[in-house]
Amino acid sequence: MKNLQKEYLRVLKLFDKVGIEFLSGNKYKKDREWWLIGSMFKLLRANDKYCDAYALSQESPDFNIKTVMQESEFNIEVCEVLHPGRKRGAEEKKEFDDGFWIKNVEDRKIDIWKTLKSGLQNKLRKDYGNNCWLLIYHNIPMRHISNMGFWANLVCANIKEWIADKSLDLQNCKFENIFIINSGADKLITIYPEFSIVYSEDEQYFYC
pLDDT, position 102: 93
Task: Write down the pLDDT at residue 70.
Answer: 64
Determine the pLDDT at residue 138.
98
Give me the long-range contacts of 189-193 (CB less than 8 A, separation at least 24).
189/152, 189/155, 189/156, 191/155, 191/156, 191/159
- What does each of the 208 residues of the chain score in pLDDT, given as a tens digit? 999 999 999 999 999 999 988 988 788 999 999 999 999 999 987 655 566 789 999 999 999 999 877 678 999 999 999 999 988 766 556 778 889 999 999 998 999 999 999 999 999 999 999 999 999 999 999 999 999 899 999 999 999 999 999 999 999 999 999 999 999 999 999 999 999 998 877 766 676 6
State residue 162 phi and psi, 5-degree precision. -65, -35
| Alpha-helical runs (H) found in the chain | 4-18, 29-46, 98-107, 114-125, 151-164
Give the model's pLDDT for residue 90.
Answer: 67
